[in-house]
């Protein structure tokens, strides 16, 4: 938090659906930016496209798209393999006129660390997932400041 108790960022993780986004966004005075998250599955991308359209109709600034669960890193060899069959998130983002902000690989330890109140980026800083999260953080901060 900034001096004086003001928030630096307020991140809301909403379930899929444009109606949920519109309801919550209507309660907030001004959004500095919207980040849309999807997994590389066509069903998820169809729902995300509706949410993007809802944000565009409200006039909210869309910072871009993040691909979550963008593959699984083999713990033995470090190879990234697809976790979901399906759509090309980069192509979907391009078709919607948005930048792809990052790819976050799946790591089962991430949920366990979050449930324990720990920062995955601090407990596993050398993993591809932590590095992707750090890169995404820098990218979003830059987009918000420009």
Three-state DSSP string of 94-121: HHCCCCEEEEEEECCHHHHHHHCCCCHH
Domain of residue 53: give its range.
3-107
Q: What is the CATH number of the domain that holds 39?
A: 3.40.50.300
Residue that has been written with the tokens 């809301």 in this structure:
12
Task: Tell me whether residue 135 is in a domain.
Answer: no
Task: Tell me whether residue 130 is in a domain.
Answer: no
Instruction: For 83-138, write each residue's pLDDT tens digit.
Output: 887 778 999 999 999 999 999 999 989 989 999 999 999 999 999 999 999 999 99
pLDDT band per the 50, 70, 90 thresholds, residue 17: low
Task: Tell me whether residue 87 is in a domain.
Answer: yes
Task: Tell me whether residue 126 is in a domain.
Answer: no
Residue 74's H or E segment, with its range, is: none
Three-state DSSP class for residue 73? strand
Task: Tell me whether residue 86 is in a domain.
Answer: yes
Q: What are phi and psi of 72, to 5 degrees?
A: -125, 130
Task: Report d(CA 141, CA 11) in Å as an integer.
Answer: 13
Instruction: For 30-72, write each residue's pLDDT tens digit.
Output: 778 889 999 888 888 888 888 888 888 888 889 999 999 999 9
Domain count, the chain: 1
């Amino acid at each position: 938090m900034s001096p004086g108790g003001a928030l630096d960022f307020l991140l809301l993780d909403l379930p899929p659906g444009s109606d949920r986004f519109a309801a919550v966004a209507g309660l907030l005075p001004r959004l500095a930016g919207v980040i849309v998250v999807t997994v590389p599955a066509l069903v998820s991308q169809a729902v995300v496209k509706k949410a993007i359209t809802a944000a565009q109709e409200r006039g909210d600034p869309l910072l871009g798209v993040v691909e979550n669960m963008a593959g699984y890193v083999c713990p033995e060899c470090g190879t990234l393999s697809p976790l979901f069959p399906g759509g090309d998130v980069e192509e979907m983002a391009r078709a919607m006129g948005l930048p792809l902000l990052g790819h976050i690989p799946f790591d089962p330890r991430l949920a366990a660390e979050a449930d324990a109140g720990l920062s995955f980026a601090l407990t596993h800083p050398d993993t591809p997932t932590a590095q992707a999260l750090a890169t995404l953080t820098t990218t979003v901060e830059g987009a918000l400041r420009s």
